[in-house]
Amino acid sequence: MLGSAYIRVRNSPTIGNAMGIVADLVTPVSIMCIGISIYETGIKNIRLDREILLLCAGRFVASPLILAGLLLFLPVPELTYKVFIIQASLPPPASVALLAIYYQTDAKYASVSISFTTLCALVTVPIYMMILG
């Protein structure tokens, strides 16, 4: 009996529409939280330190190279290979800042790192696109 009620609620278009609206709000709310964290930190207090540089090196160099090495052993089409490499070289998603706030970790560091890696991606992604052809 409980299962049939669950199925009716799960297939309800009203609930599906409401959940879709909530899901569509994740990115805008994440970006607002990043902006608030950076504002509270102060733009003048943001420094390019060793941790951010290591994060960028790992995200934009090590991650695509490791994935490229792993994909050599798998029979994947060329387009899929290129898409995987580009995805591996993208910055962390904005929702990471929400997770940092939710779990009460270093939200300021998460916000600064997301912002900086997004700026770096403006340079690295076109480079990877040229390399991959």
Per-residue pLDDT tens digits for 90-115? 888 878 888 888 898 888 888 888 88
Number of structural domains found in the chain: 1
pLDDT at 1 (0 to 100): 46
CA dihedral 121, 64, 91, 53 (to 10 degrees): -80
The vertex-105 CA angle with 19 and 120, nearest 5°, equals: 80
pLDDT at 9 (0 to 100): 56
The vertex-27 CA angle with 99 and 101, nearest 5°, equals: 20
- Cα(1)–Cα(132) distance, integer angstroms: 55
Give me the domain span that covers residue 115.
Answer: 2-132
